[in-house]
Structure 1
Amino acid sequence: MKNVLPLSAFVLVLVAGTSSTGHAQVLTEANYDQLVPSGKEVDAIYGDYAIGNKSAKAVIAAPIATRNANMTVRSVGGCLLDLAVTEHESDQLSVFYPGRRKFPFAQISNKTGTVVVTSPGSDKRPKCEVTYRMNSNQPIMDITSTWTNTTNSDWTLALEDDIRADGGKEDMVKSPNGTHDLFYFHDIFWQQAYGVRADGFRIRTNSNSRESILTYQAEGGHAVIMKPGESFTLSRQMIVGKNQAEVMAIADELSGRPRCESVRLSIDDSSQTRVVGARMEIRSASGSRGTIVSDSTGFAETRLPPGEYTVKYIVDGVAVSEQPSLDLTVRANNSQTSLHNLPKLHRGQIAARITDGEGHPIPAKVEFKGNGDTPTPDWGPETAEHFVRNLAYTANGKFETALREGTYDVIVSHGPEHDAVFTKVVVEAGKTAELNASLKHSVQTPGWVSSDFHSHSSPSGDNTGSQKGRVLNLAAEHIEFAPCTEHNRVSTYEHHIADLGLKSFMATVSGMELTGSPLPLNHQNAFPMKYTPRTQDGGGPVTDGSPETQLERLALWDDRSEKLIQQNHPDMGWLFYDKDGDGTSDGGYSRSFPMMDVVEIHPIDHILKREQFDSRNGKAFNNNRMLNWLQLLNQGFRIYGVVNTDAHYNFHGSGWLRNWIQSSTDAPAKIDHKEMVHASEQGRLIMSNGPYLEATFAAGGKSCVSGQELTASDGKVEVRVRVQCPNWFDVDTVFLLVNGKVAEDFQFTRTDHADKFTDGVVKFDQTLNLTLKEDSHIVVVTGHQTEVLGDVMGPQGGAQHPAALTNPVFVDVDGNGFTPNKDTLEFPLPVKFKKP
């Protein structure tokens, strides 16, 4: 076997004049803000290496075996982690893995403008040295890999890299699978594009929504075979720009093609007003040059080679169908501005002012739907912030935006304690339509605050949603206490709350979700957790393959600090009864039981119809957590229930599930997270997807709320039940569960007990006198059997039936302490679910 070409033929020469004048420094507290680019996908920490010039900033992860960017972007040591152009810092790169993760880097060195990482060779694997150098004045990272065969045999070298850039919920374009001179990907909304090229090679690419594999094919298709002691060098450039057209322009120039010319485009609407945020898709006879977006001045700038182009315009997510494309000619040595007037593009303005019932500005969610022939806007992807698809989020009750002329159906809301406003707005070209909405705080909840214990955004690694957008979503839905619970890292919402002016509306605390294996069982949330910013995992613990060990690790973390530990969305049978998953009860993960404070038991509306399994499309897909939880209570497990959205994206993501927690203050700015922990640990918490359910229990001259104990020596318990709803949904059912079963004579419906229900804000307000014959736990339930929450909560949450339930109250009848009755509720105790 022999090399087809001499090794020297494969050594790629760097672009002339690239002696670097940039910087290369270890990141510290003193220089982090200066050297690290901005962007929602930034994962740099102290100890990583920054390298940059006037055109771009980049970060190389420290070559440590445990260096992970986030939960799913792992083993990044020695890799290109963050990269953004300084003209518009918006890092959208998760990681560039040189060598496709086959050479673990263990050493690093840096000089002025250069970072070198090394994977030591052995008798089983070649040595690999990667040099990162920033071009002196362009947004180009030169990446050079040199392999040396340290083995005793010939080594066939696979010339491969892979890139992680998640585009599943983004407006992201990637090179089509196939072979190219340039591989590119471009996030149009977040306006950052990347390209990879290598002189002397074509790049065969294979991409999915997350990963792209790049295979470098030498001209002629020759294999690279290194004999013992021989070396081989591959050089490639990674280009970053604001848009795909700019990346392609740089690549053209590096390849010796004609110089690209600066082009500045804009469009006017019928009122001769430049359109901000317009998308301009540029194509030539040879294919797409990408999409550029007009900035706050109404202009979009890029560079194009001389030639003929067509430009297609998209405004507010809707193609300008009256004029599908316009012609553009780019001439050599002639930078130009091209202004296109679209007389049929009729746009006006919306000016919104949203207040509570007393005239005070409040955060809000505003949904726009085109009426009749009017198109529905689509402002941005589900990862966005203030404008997400057809939603506008406001932190202070105000926003202004341009909209196509027409009539819009509008829903203005602020969670289920407030009435929603359903209205129409007519937008006329060149005019401003006012949207004034007063959201009455109709549902009163004194002494209880709303919370969601489980939310995610891009730092979690399994989604790309903006964390700032998550906070806006939470506040607009009137979540008053929201711990930050990103996957596998401690993080915080505090800076977003401060920047958005939301301190009077929402409290928070640092926390995390520790997500290990086996999945989906081994997920636990914990808060408060000590946040150590810009360190690996924010200072949090690592995962473990044992749910018991992982829970213990969380409990002991931060010097055994007090924290709420929540078991997330478990298979109850697997967790509590069937550890090895063989379908036979074996005691489950019993070592973890004492450390669990609360457990997620949603889907919440399944409490209205308790069946053995949850079903989708008529097929069982999981054990029914609600039923299983009631069975657990009967077996003596005293673990309280919670419901949370587990939101990952910002389109109606938060708000459709919540907990109301007993609190000594109704002012979010005064909420004490320790009080929230204690109240939750004690079950003083109501679960809901909308209805506000109040329940107090009295016996023997004492009263309490959910989660507590009562002694009723005569078996008589007085239960006061009160249900409130805003104007956009209703309840038609109230019932008591005693030891998990509907209590005879205590199931009420609007159809059969119309005298007990009303049509105002208060839907039900009754005192129920219950006589118990044995120790019993009591859960109060309300909901609607046929109607759903509807459009206010979006397509996912809106499809749920309104429902709410209390945590149990434990009533001791015989005076010997509470004794569970061991009833299994006519179903066998669960084991790990297996699909039929």
Structure 2
Amino acid sequence: MKTVSRLIAFIIITINALHTANAADVQILTQRNISQLVPGGKEVDAIIGDVILRNDIVSVVIAAPSPLRNANLTTRTVGGCIIDLVRNDSQNDQLTCLFINALAHEFHSWEGASVSVDEAAIPAYSKTRGGTLVPGFVPKSGESVSFTVVSNPNDDNTIASITYSLTDGRPFVDVVVSLTNQHKTNVATLNIADSIRADRTFIFGVHDGLYWASDDWFKYAVGILPTGSVPVRGSGNVITYQTSDSSKIKLGPDETVMTHRRVVPADNLLQLKGITAGIQEATTHPVKIQTLDAAGPTSHAKVTIEQGDNLIGTARTDEKGVVAFQAEPGSYSVTVQKIGRTTITQELVIESDVDIDLIQDGCGYVVANITDSKGNPIPCKVSFYGLGETVDPLFGPPHGEVAVGNVHYSINGQFRQEIPSGTYQVLISHGPEYDLITKPITVERGKDTEITGKLIRSVDTSGWISADLHSHASPSGDNVSSQFGRVLSLISEHIEFAPCTEHQRIDTYDAHLARLQAAHLLATCPGMELTGQPLPINHQNTFPLQFKPYRQDGGGPVIDENPITQIVRLAGWDNNAKKLMQGNHPKLMRIYQDGDDDGNSDGGFRAMLDYMDVIEIHPPQSIFQVPAELAPPGDRGNVIFQWMQLLNIGYRIPGVVNSDA
């Protein structure tokens, strides 16, 4: 038995090492290999059944061609698309999805899918005797590997195939789209386009034949470099490709046309521009910039390179204060920005290799040591408000983790935070059960300012816990907030129980609690918010649920357009296991008596109430506002008032107020 186990382990290790020995490999993600192969990053969505291609520089995940393959609540029908894309040396996926061919065709079947190694193609599936397709293939490796998906025919009888390829030593994914008109007589007119989901903190642009999307805060960029056409940023997230004639092509009967683009991941826009310049065979030189102040290297400083009025790119320095990239020869300006320090700009001439130091003046620091009444470490939220002419500090975007906006979240009350010099009012809190500490401070450049205090628990809540039964982070798809940051903020605000309730997927906070060593501070369990139409009545939270890692929706149920069908399905999930069911932000009049919201009584979706253990009734202050008339169609109205009317007619469903953050 030991020999068999060792043999299996050897086979797994050998398969996972293929890309090291042969540089490029293609594999289908399975229960056995996914934990070793899945890329890293806040926006990773790979699941079992997807396909991963890797070489020595890049890893890319192509979503399995299936009608039920969704990345999250708002990123749907992703079969055959790029859902994860990283450089192997950084493992930092921030891309939600790149829809090659802009959803013009749907990839809902493995029929026609194939893998290729050095141009030798084999099917990516097998068939049973009954003709059923079974996805799967033996891992392949070689100098060049490819994965091809074929679409279902459209109404105009056109089909699309997309081939994704990685080649040894190349820092990009080759993408070839073949469009075929299968009609025997009609001419088809098709757009040449892609679309991208890269949200909130991203900026976008087109320059010298390159379409780019960049998020300098989370250190990620992606570029699309077409051949034979020029990218044009269209409306929304659509990228059109302009040929000499137009962005449309006409296909005669039985005609096929092929388009080609290279998709390039990078750690920042400067690196991306350098890589694509190399792809286009332009002359480049290595540039290394280190940012420092009197205390030494400065990490996460923003470095911006411009040429006249043209933005070349931005990047954030690493923990050693370094940004390194390739750049074309020329005269540029370089600007360094870092919180609490004076912004500096100087000329940068690139004629050969560049290695320079850029030195800013120092900043101020606050050094915190916050404890409980007995002097023990305690999680806390510390907010800084500028006094007089001092403005509120901006530590980072609202989607971050530890330092967010003007707030620092601390797991133990001890931290050192950069801050501009000035005068501030500091608010130190740990939820409403602890007395708030307020104190003014003055911060001087180059010096530490100490913040101390004891958080006193003055509200006796014996027999009660503080809970938030409804919150979200990036996996939900309607925001890009760090889930780790969400957990840290819940603990800092003294939430004692919080189920994980991401939209449209079962998920868990366990890994974040382990990283924080804080499982004793926050009770939790897997759960979800099943988010269907019509809004706002067909949203339900439930927990606990069985979390199935790397499965579609974490093993959760699918939505239904009938709210009663959906809530019954959710209540019965996991073999009718006991769970709490919560109606989220409802319009209760619509549930109780007016299902189509036309102002006429039709019985509504009243059966939903039989499955609700609790109902959200925020905002609570509206309890003092008695409505003079019913809310018009489309308006939720006074939810807490409507809930009290439910109590009056015998529905004993507790009301709750959550953050829905």
Mapped to 2, the partners of 1:189 and 1:470 lie a distance apart of 18
Which of 252, 269, 287 aligns to 1:263? It is 287
**In 1, Cα distance between equivalents of 2:314 and 2:414:** 30
- From 336, 340, 350, the counterpart of 1:313: 336
SS at match of 1:87: coil
Task: Give the Cα–Cα distance (whole angstroms) in 2 for the partners of residues 222 and 164 of structure 1.
Answer: 21
The aligned residue for residue 183 of structure 1 is 211
Partner of 1:285: 308
What SS does the aligned partner of 1:69 have? coil
- Indicate yes or no: 2:320 matched with 1:304: no
Match of 1:693 in 2: none
State the Cα distance separating 1:123 from its structure 2 match: 7.9
Shift of 1:156: 2.4
Which residue, out of 22, 34, 37, partners 1:35? 37
Q: 1:621 to 1:320 in 2, by over 3 A?
A: farther
Partner of 2:643: 629
Matches within 5 A, 1:394-543: 394-543=410-559
Tell me, yes or no, if the aligned pair for 1:278 and 1:314 is still in contact at 8 Å.
yes
State the TM-score, normalizing by the size of structure 1: 0.70
1:489 deviation in Å?
Answer: 0.6
CA displacement at 1:421 relative to structure 2: 1.2
1:267-288 superposed Cα distances (whole Å, 9 cap, x missing partner): 333x253222211111012611
In 2: Cα distance, 1:174 partner to 1:122 partner: 31
State the match for 2:120 in structure 1.
none
Offset of 1:447 from its aligned partner?
0.9
Equivalent of 2:115 in 110, 113, 118: 110
- Tell me how far 1:222 sits from its aligned partner: 8.0
Q: Within the alignment, does 1:328 sit opposite 2:348 as a pair?
A: yes
Q: Hey, what's the Cα distance between the residues in 1 that align with 2:323 and 2:440?
A: 33
Does 2:647 align with 1:642? no
**Corresponding residue for residue 225 of structure 1:** 250
Greater gyration radius:
1
Identity of aligned residues (%): 39
1:194, 1:247 within 8 Å by CA — same for their partners in 2? yes
Query: Which residue matches 2:72?
Result: 70
- Alignment size in residue pairs: 608
Separation (CA, whole Å) in 2 of partners of 1:79 and 1:613 = 50
1:74-128 residue CA offsets vs partner (Å, 9 max, x unmatched): 0001111111122322211111111111221222322332111111447832232
Q: Look up the match of 2:233.
A: 205
What is the DSSP-based 3-state SS (H/G/I as helix, E as strand, rest coil) of the residue aligned with 1:451? Answer: coil
* Counterpart in the other structure of 1:23: 25
Q: CA RMSD in A?
A: 2.1
**CA gap 1:134/1:320 in 2 versus in 1, 3 angstroms:** farther
Query: By how many angstroms is 1:39 displaced?
Result: 1.0
Counterpart Cα distance in 2 of 1:564 and 1:612: 34
Q: Write the deviation string for residues 762-804 of structure 1: whole angstroms up to 9, x where unpaired.
A: xxxxxxxxxxxxxxxxxxxxxxxxxxxxxxxxxxxxxxxxxxx
Secondary structure class of the residue paired with 1:296: coil
Q: Give the secondary-structure state (helix, strand or coil) at the position aligned to 2:565.
A: helix
User: Which deviates more from structure 2 when the two are superposed, residues 32-41 or residues 398-407?
Assistant: 398-407
Give the structure 1 partner of residue 50 of structure 2: 48
User: What amino acid is the match of 2:204?
Assistant: K
The 8 Å contact of residues 245 and 289 in structure 1, kept in 2 or not, is answered as yes
Contact map agreement 1:491 1:511 (CA 8 A) in 2: yes
Task: Structure 2: give runs of 5+ residues left out of the alignment.
Answer: 1-21, 117-140
Q: CA deviation at 1:296?
A: 1.1
Q: Could you give the per-residue CA deviations for residues 572-595 of structure 1, whole angstroms, max 9, x where no partner exists?
A: 111112122221223221222211
Given the alignment of the two structures, is residue 94 of structure 1 paired with residue 96 of structure 2, yes or no?
yes
How far apart in 2 are the matches of 1:547 and 1:444? 40
Q: 3-state SS of the aligned residue for 1:198?
A: strand
CA distance in 2, matches of 1:573, 1:223: 49
Quote how far apart the aligned CAs of 1:466 are.
0.8
Matched, 1:339 2:348: no
Shift of 1:302: 2.1
Structure 1 match to 2:135: none
Q: TM-score, normalised by structure 2?
A: 0.88
Q: For the Cα contact (< 8 Å) 1:115–1:133, is it kept in 2? A: yes
1:491 is paired with a residue whose SS is coil
The residue number in structure 1 matching 2:119 is none
Please tell me the residue identity of whatever aligns with 2:203: V
Does the CA contact (< 8 Å) of 2:274 and 2:328 recur in 1?
Answer: yes
| Aligned equivalents of 2:596, 2:390: Cα separation in 1 | 57
Q: What per-residue deviation string (whole Å, max 9, x for no partner) do you get for residues 726-776 of structure 1?
A: xxxxxxxxxxxxxxxxxxxxxxxxxxxxxxxxxxxxxxxxxxxxxxxxxxx
Q: Residue 623 of structure 2 contacts residue 641 of structure 2 at CA under 8 Å; is this kept in 1?
A: yes
Q: Which moved more, 1:547-556 or 1:304-313?
A: 304-313
1:163 is aligned to 196
2:220 to 185, 192, 196: 192
SS in 1 for 2:297: coil
Match of residue 83 from structure 2: 81
Counterpart code for 2:98:
F
Match of 1:8 in 2: none
Q: Secondary structure at the match of 2:572?
A: helix
Contact 1:283–1:311 (CA under 8 A) maintained in structure 2 = yes
Matched residue SS, 1:478: coil
Residue 223 of structure 1 deviates from its aligned partner by: 5.2
Cα deviation digits, residues 543-587 of structure 1 (max 9, x gap): 001111111001111101111100011111111121222212232
Deviations 1:135-189 (A, max 9, x none): 422331111111222112222232111111112xx2x21116xx86111010111
Indicate the residue corresponding to 2:156 in structure 1. Answer: 124
Deviation at 1:303, TM superposition (A): 2.1
Q: Does 1:151 align with 2:183?
A: yes
Q: Deviations over 1:426-484 (max 9, x none)?
A: 33333332222211111111111110100001111111111111101100000000011
SS of residue in 2 equivalent to 1:193: strand
Aligned residue among 611, 631, 642 for 1:595: 611
Q: C-alpha displacement at 1:395, in angstroms?
A: 1.3
Kindly provide the amino acid, as one letter, of the partner of residue 148 in structure 2.
V
DSSP 3-state at the match of 1:498: helix
| 1:207 CA displacement | 4.6
Mapped partners of 2:654, 2:446: distance in 1 = 56
Q: Check 1:204–1:26 CA distance in 2 against 1; reply closer, same or farther (3 A cut).
A: same
Amino acid across the alignment from 1:235: H
Say if 1:614 and 1:375 are closer, same or farther in 2 by CA, change over 3 A: farther
Q: Distance in 1 between matches of 2:155 and 2:404?
A: 54
Contact 1:346 1:404 in 2 (8 A): no
Distance verdict in 2 for CA 1:355–1:123, change over 3 Å: closer
> 2:271 — aligned with what?
246
Q: Match of 2:209, as an amino acid?
A: D
Q: Compared with structure 1, are the counterparts of its residues 612 and 509 closer, same or farther at alpha carbon in structure 2 (3 Å cutoff)?
A: farther
* Kept in 1: contact 2:328–2:350 (CA 8 A): yes
The within-5 A match list for 1:605-620 is 605-612=621-628
Report the CA distance shift for 1:272/1:628 in structure 2 as closer, same or farther (over 3 A).
closer
Q: Note the C-alpha offset of 1:312.
A: 2.1
| Equivalent residue letter for 1:43 | D
- Say if 1:349 and 1:580 are closer, same or farther in 2 by CA, change over 3 A: closer
- Which letter does structure 2 place at the counterpart of 1:161? D
What CA deviation, in whole Å up to 9, does each residue of 1:337-370 have, x standing for no partner? 211223xx33133222221111111111111233
The Cα of 1:613 is off from its aligned counterpart by 7.1
- Tell me how far apart the structure 2 counterparts of residues 123 and 381 of structure 1 sit (CA, whole Å): 44
Equivalent residues in 2 for 1:371-390 (5 A)? 371-390=387-406
Q: Which amino acid aligns with 2:161?
A: E
Q: 1: distance between equivalents of 2:630 and 2:27? A: 54
Segments of 5+ residues of structure 1 without an aligned counterpart are 1-19, 648-836
**Residue identity opposite 2:224 in structure 1:** V
For the residue of structure 2 that corresponds to 1:551, the secondary structure is: helix
Provide the residue aligned with 1:236 in structure 2.
Answer: 261
Aligned partners of 1:605, 1:223: CA distance in 2, in Å?
A: 55
Letter in 1 for 2:659: T
